[in-house]
A and B are shown apart, each in its own frame.
Chain A
Amino acid sequence: MSRLGFDIAHLLAGLLVLISFLQLYQDRLYALLNIFALHALVLALSVAWQAFIQDAPHLYVTAALALAFKAIIIPVVLHRIIVRLGIHREIEQVVGVGPVMLAGIGLVALSMVVMLRVTQQADPLAREDLAFALAVVLLGLLMMVTRRNAVSQVVGFMSLENGLVLAATGAKGMPLVVEISVAFSILIAFIVIGIFLFRIRERFDTVDLQALDRFRGERR
């Protein structure tokens, strides 16, 4: 049982990393949002599995939150937003797929090396979970820096948060306070972002951050 439990947890966490890679090279917003929904779905499964093997029923709440908010509500709302903004057909210039993928592989290797080395005394399940979680976090960061469009930056940020949830649930017995706060913070963050996107749309007819960046630095 414990062997199987470990393998499935391992599989789900590994899938998350893989889906993070898929996100990296999506250049259509629609496809990106679908992949993100998948990311959140796998996260929900992984958290639910952790709840089962750790015998920690409160984690089911976190899993349900991940499923409801991140896999369903947020992608649906974002779909609507990009249709309303009229950018759903746009193709986004991704900064060279090759270099980004290479950088991603480098980051995953880095997180494995760092986390596996420092957590030698921790139990193997938490250990590998943490290494995968760090990889997801770093890939989310990478996505945020390589994207120019506000919507895909937000998606990058949310997949980064998914990595954090994975880490928090992998740490056995971590108090509920944190999980709920993570869920809430995503919700709040989403509201904030939503408001922002609408205002940006209102004012400048674009959500392209390059347009925003024109005013960077000193006003002359």
Chain B
Amino acid sequence: MPSDLPSQPFRRRPFTAGRATSAVAPAPIALTGVRRSYGATKAVDGVDLTVPTGQVVALLGPNGAGKSTTIDMLLGLTRPDAGTVSLFGRAPRRACAEGLVSAMLQNGGLLPFVTVETVLDTLRGLYPRPLSTVEAMRRAGIADLAATRTERLSGGQRQRVRFAVAMLPDPALLVLDEPTAAMDVSARQAFWAATRAWAAEGRTVLFATHYLAEADDFADRIVLLRQGKVVADGPTTQIKALVGGRTIRATLPGVDDAGIVTLGGLPGVSRAGRRGDTIELRCADSDTALRALLDAAPAVRDLEITGAGLQDAFLALTTDQPSTLPAPAGSKETAR
């Protein structure tokens, strides 16, 4: 992230920061028991999610976790098999038509063989109280692309044009599906700076990502999806604390896969792995594990113990072997 930006600028913003809101105003997002299957695959398997005004929420999960399907149902692009979706107390379709909600969709959304300005002018005419095209382009930093035909845009430019499209209705809720996927590092920084500036006025943002750093840097709250279910939901720090354990790294010359299985069975160790002679033990109780390790493998050296980072939390919570997780108190994890 750029050094001149605070790394956690909006964390713990009070709910009342939103514009035009009162204690009884319906939440920007309210999903209850939402499910959707494609054939035998349960893409989304019972998601409950309420997002109050002014929050910036990251929907985090690996590919195939159900992020895009959740977003499609949220926007009324896909009908849920079960459950209800309400945006500002309205049906998604109506909230979009009223210009309260807009989105940057993952694929396409731009018509070829017309200029960026034409696309924006056209879509602008389909919203009740839109921004001017010039203002939308300014916010997305694409004034220089006005006369460019859409099929000639680079991947990163397309994303910025989509952001301008999402700005057009002047929405109160912005939904972003993998918004920085095609961007290089500087474009990504510029994008988040623009989105931050926009959200700072008390507006609500939900974004899907599988970039951990983005969720960590930008979101007030992280909702972690795995296999269509919410496996964790809370402030970033709380998500990190869910895993709680530590990781022991060390060198163990000559260690093989059978040895790793043995190490994985040591007391206090929840998962073991190796890269060459380097072993890595994820531990629910690192003190016990360390004593057991020194007994079991006296040749071990270069010992290093680290606390769990968000990366570890992410991997632990989203990989397919939930049984190795320590069951976190108060989370929705249903390990074992």
Q: Do A and B bind each other?
A: no
